[in-house]
Amino acid sequence: MSKILLISCTPRHESNTKKLVQTFIDTTKNKADITHLDLVANPAPLLLGNNLNALLKRNFMGMELDADESEVLQDVDQMVEQLQSFERIVLAYPMYNFSIPAVVKAWFDAVIQNGKTFKIKDDGSYEGLRQGTKALVLMTTGGDYSQEPRGGRAISYQ
C-alpha cells in the first residue's frame, strides 16, 4: 500500500476544492495510506526575519546554528521530514487571482531547502533530491480558463 501525503488548502465552506479532496480521499482510502496536511488549520510559517536568516545561514552558507536558530527552524524542518517520508504527494488548492494561495506558497518555501530537497551542483545548476516521488495537483477555479486569453486585453501605459 502506498503512502500519500495529501496537502490541501480549502478555506471556503462548500468549495469545489473541498469536494474534490473528499472525492480523492473516498476513492483512494482503501488503496493507500493517506496523511492529510490541512494548510488552513496548520499553515507553514512564512519565511520572515529569524527563520529566513537561519535557513540561509544553515542551507546556503553551511554555518552551524545556535540553539535559538535551530528552534526557529523546527516547524519547517518537520515539514521537510514529513515530505521526505512519503513516496506520493497530492496538492489540492483553488486558484486565487491566477496564482496559488499564500499558504500553499508558504509550504513550498518551507520545504524547498538546499541540501534537503534540492542541491546546487558544482556547475551552478540545480538537482532535485526527491527523484521517484510522484506528485499530483488537484486545482480548481471559479471560472472557465480554457480559452486564451482569459477575457482580458493588453493594456499599454504611455
Each residue's pLDDT tens digit in the chain (158 positions)?
789 999 999 998 888 999 999 999 999 989 999 999 999 999 999 999 999 999 999 999 999 999 999 999 999 999 999 999 999 999 999 998 888 999 999 999 999 999 999 999 999 999 999 888 999 999 998 766 566 655 554 444 44
First to last CA, the chain: 60
Task: Identify the DSSP state of 36.
Answer: E
Task: Identify the DSSP state of 114.
Answer: B
Is residue 153 in a domain? no
Is residue 156 in a domain? no
CATH at residue 98 = 3.40.50.360
> Is the bond into 11 cis (omega within 30 degrees of 0)?
no
Q: How many domains does the chain have?
A: 1
Is residue 158 in a domain? no
pLDDT at site 153 = 47
What's the burial of 105, exposed, middle or buried (CB within 10 Å: 0-12/13-18/19+)?
A: middle
Is residue 149 in a domain? no
3-state secondary structure at position 96:
strand
Is residue 52 in a domain? yes
Is residue 120 in a domain? yes
pLDDT at site 151 = 52
pLDDT at site 141 = 85
Residue 108 lies in domain: 2-140
Retrieve residue 143's grid coordinates.
471560472
pLDDT at site 158 = 44
Measured at the CA of 107, the angle between CA 105 and CA 110, to 5 degrees, comes to 110
Is residue 157 in a domain? no
Is residue 65 in a domain? yes
